[in-house]
Homo-oligomer: A and B are copies of this chain.
Amino acid sequence: MSQCDVGYHRRMARWQPDARGRLEAAAFELFRERGFEQTTVADIAARAGLDKRTFYRLFGDKREALFSGSGHVEEVLVQAVTETDAGPFEAVVAAFRRVAEELFADRLELVRARQAIIESSPELQERELRKTGSLAAAVTAALRARGLDETTATLATESGATVFRVAYARWVAPGSDAPLSDLIAEVAAELRAITSAPTETP
């Protein structure tokens, strides 16, 4: 947490121009070229013109180089949930739609490439799961700050996150063209249909 969403100190900006950013870029390139497991932290550092040890000072982990955006997502999510009066589930869904519009909308290709990398490595999948979980915790906390009880907040968050995941999977899948935000709204409606009808025997 500490070293991961700091960005970089103002002081250091001209000293080493965006070391963190260069490492992220180098990692992304190498992961695409050789795959995650075939890439060494030393390789990444070398391509960025830095040392292995510097990488570990800026990222806690080899995996973290791929997940720097999650801090930003959390900000948007928490703010959106905090600023609305809608019911818990609706608030979370709306927050995810806002993330979709502000952070993902015009980056389909980039997101697809990133997703391909993640899907190629179990380790990265685990990390993504953890990031998602910590995002969820933040959203739940924001909901609770609005006066909701723990269980309601958790259920709303998790349901909203599920909706997002399904919509995201559709969006990232090849051949999709609908905007993510619209997909989220659709999936949310489907969820309601499934959970609200307690009976049905096909």
**Interface residues, chain A, with chain B CB atoms under 8 Å away:** 85-90, 122, 125-127, 129-130, 133, 147, 151-152, 154-156, 158-159, 162-163, 165-166, 170, 187, 190-192, 194-202
Query: Number of copies of this chain in the oligomer?
Result: 2
User: 12 A–B contact pairs at CB < 8 A?
Assistant: A88-B194, A89-B195, A122-B130, A126-B130, A129-B129, A151-B170, A151-B187, A152-B190, A154-B166, A156-B194, A158-B165, A195-B195
B contact residues around A162 at 8 Å (CB): 155, 158-159, 162
User: B195 contacts A196, CB within 8 Å?
Assistant: yes
B contact residues around A154 at 8 Å (CB): 166
CB nearest to A154 among chain B residues: B166
User: B125 contacts A194, CB within 8 Å?
Assistant: no
Of the residues B87, B130, B155, contact of A190 by C-beta under 8 Å: B155
B contact residues around A156 at 8 Å (CB): 194
B contact residues around A90 at 8 Å (CB): 198-200
Of the residues B126, B192, B201, contact of A195 by C-beta under 8 Å: B192
